[in-house]
Amino acid sequence: MDAAGADSPWLTALVLLENATGLGREQVLAHPERQLTDEQLSTLRALVERRCQREPLAYILGYREFFGRRFGVNPSVLIPRPETEDLVSIALERMDQWVEHHPEAERNFLDVGTGSGSIAVTLLAERANWRAVATDIDQAALAMASENAVTYGVADRLTLVRSDRAQAVQQAFPLVVANLPYIPTLDIMDLEPEVRDHEPRAALDGGPDGTTIIASLLIDLPGLLLPGGSALLEFGERQSDALRATAREALPRSAITVEKDAAGLDRYLIVDRPD
């Protein structure tokens, strides 16, 4: 795997060995002399070969950890990233603020482009009295989100809608959250093979400058975001100014701020609509 350019080859090998044998890490490390069965060895070789082809480890394992939970993933959905966990944290703060200022109002939110459902399912798992609508243009992605919702016991509070952005949604919400495609089209070929060759292009390609799809959602926000509500959107490098301008044009009376990710990069656009 090292020769193939895969990162962290020793740790990856350990994870694949756990997967092939069904043993926990402590068992694997405590008994290095353990002999593999022919079936286990065959399984391990197949897994290693997939990783040497630069298939993402999350797809090989069928899951990715996100916000302390294990989310099922497959090649129909983008693999959840650590930076999106911060988007969830900001969303939780805004949800709590909404309840504080609107204690009698309905508690629901919209997740646009839900993919695996990692954002929507996490928010519902963290706030048991909220409901959600989550959209995605891909039916296979919605199926993955549904599986994750069932796993964490929130399926009865999550409505999944097949839609390009939020075009099929006919209501407004106190919270709109989205991690939409934001990679500029021409930059995709420069990405790591794990991303470029394996993750769904539709979940990556944000148009010529990476802002096309996000900007479209911002333009639609007046019909999606309730007075007093907040919209939270993740975006890419060097996109802050353009998206601020679009948000200001769509909702000129709103407070528009940008927060940085753990690497110090502008990453989260926050639109707080006045009551």
Q: Does 208 reside within a domain?
A: yes
135 shares a domain with 44: no
17 shares a domain with 120: no
Domain of residue 132, residue span: 76-272
pLDDT at res. 157? 98
222 shares a domain with 110: yes
pLDDT higher than threshold 60 for residue 5: no
How many domains does the chain contain in total? Answer: 2
Summarised one tens digit per residue, pLDDT across range 46-99 is 898 999 999 999 999 999 999 999 999 999 999 999 999 999 999 999 999 999
207 shares a domain with 128: yes
Looking up residue 93, the CATH number of its domain turns out to be 3.40.50.150
Q: Does 116 reside within a domain?
A: yes
Q: Does 34 reside within a domain?
A: yes
Whole-structure pTM over 0.75, yes or no?
A: yes
Q: Does 67 reside within a domain?
A: no
Q: Does 60 reside within a domain?
A: no
247 shares a domain with 115: yes
153 shares a domain with 35: no
Among candidates 113, 104, 103, which has minimal Cα distance to 133?
113
Q: Does 66 reside within a domain?
A: no
136 shares a domain with 20: no
End-to-end CA distance of the chain: 55
| CB environment 190-222: b (16+ within 10 A), e (fewer) | eeeebbbebbbeebbbbbebbbbbbbbbbebbe
